[in-house]
Structure 1
């Protein structure tokens, strides 16, 4: 409970420094979250945000702990029927991160940088989060379920690296 309160207090403090979105200009691009996340993270997955998790399982490392550059995949729920993806830009504590994402809340079609996200799951596994919401200058009241994080290194590359390491060490793991 203390960890949750500390995380919430830290998030509230950090949120004060979040960049507020500027008015939308007609000559600026309209960003979708998936297009932005794909370009910003280098994770080459296509389709609605909620499909990213299943697509990633055989192609990329996935997990429940944030890494800078990884993509947090939100489950579809309520008005967010197609899910959402956001790129981790900074890890502040084990329960507080910052993300850069597009097309969220009061910033339709815009990119928001370094938005505070807090893990509010009971198991400290990032399965439920709250996101900073600029219009109220606080964490939003909605708890969003997530699948977890997709890391920007391919499974094949990791496995190839492991095999090379085993070959170089004669399979012992020691040089």
Structure 2
């Protein structure tokens, strides 16, 4: 979640093979050219990119800084499942083979905000094999030049049913 100066992936490389922080991944996957810690993206986007509270494929989800996310977090919307459930693709969330930094594709994001405005969410967490008990504050969505584009963000056949079970079944 720390922003590091990392060169973009070579054009032939898969964005899914990236290992590192969430910021360079989100920048590459979304085309939103913002630098710095994830928690600064929302304010940096003001006047540069449209922002809002409605998810769109390819948009960046900007998580607020919190006790659990000291540097915030950014992820990219890969699929919209229904009004309060979507899938995102992001880096450096769950551990894979004991390591952080890997990309996770089509992860469930569930809107648990009282106003149904995506201001508070739960995220699927590989380590617990489901939505964790933690909720995270979200600024909103940053709509970049690749909004609507899913270049490797989503699998050919994502598991919508599992996503809904993750959200409503727990």
The question of a shared fold, defined as TM-score above 0.5 by the shorter chain, is answered with yes
Alignment correspondent of 1:121: 113
Is 1:91 the equivalent of 2:80? yes
Q: Is the 8 A contact 1:86 1:101 kept in 2?
A: yes
Q: Distance in 1 between matches of 2:19 and 2:35?
A: 17
Alignment correspondent of 2:69: 80
Q: Is the 8 A contact 2:18 2:103 kept in 1?
A: no
- List, as ranges, runs of 4+ consecutive aligned residues in structure 1 with deviation greater than 3 Å: none
Q: List runs of 5+ in structure 1 lacking aligned partners.
A: 1-27, 155-175
Judged with a 3 Å threshold, the aligned counterparts in structure 2 of structure 1 residues 29 and 122 are, in CA distance, closer, same or farther, namely: closer
Q: Distance in 2 between matches of 1:36 and 1:29?
A: 7
1 or 2, which has the higher helix percentage? 1
Output the aligned Cα RMSD.
1.5
Secondary structure of 1:60's counterpart equals coil
User: How many matched pairs?
Assistant: 127
Structure showing greater radius of gyration is 1
1 or 2, which has the higher strand percentage? 1
Q: List runs of 5+ in structure 2 lacking aligned partners.
A: 1-16, 147-170
TM-score (norm 1): 0.69
For residues 85-164 of structure 1, the aligned pairs below 5 Å read: 85-107=74-96, 108-153=100-145
Q: Distance in 1 between matches of 2:18 and 2:36?
A: 19
TM-score (norm 2): 0.71
Secondary structure of 1:67's counterpart equals coil
Q: Is the 8 A contact 2:38 2:62 kept in 1?
A: yes
**Deviation per CA, 1:4-47, whole angstroms, max 9, x where unpaired?**
xxxxxxxxxxxxxxxxxxxxxxxx75311000000000011000
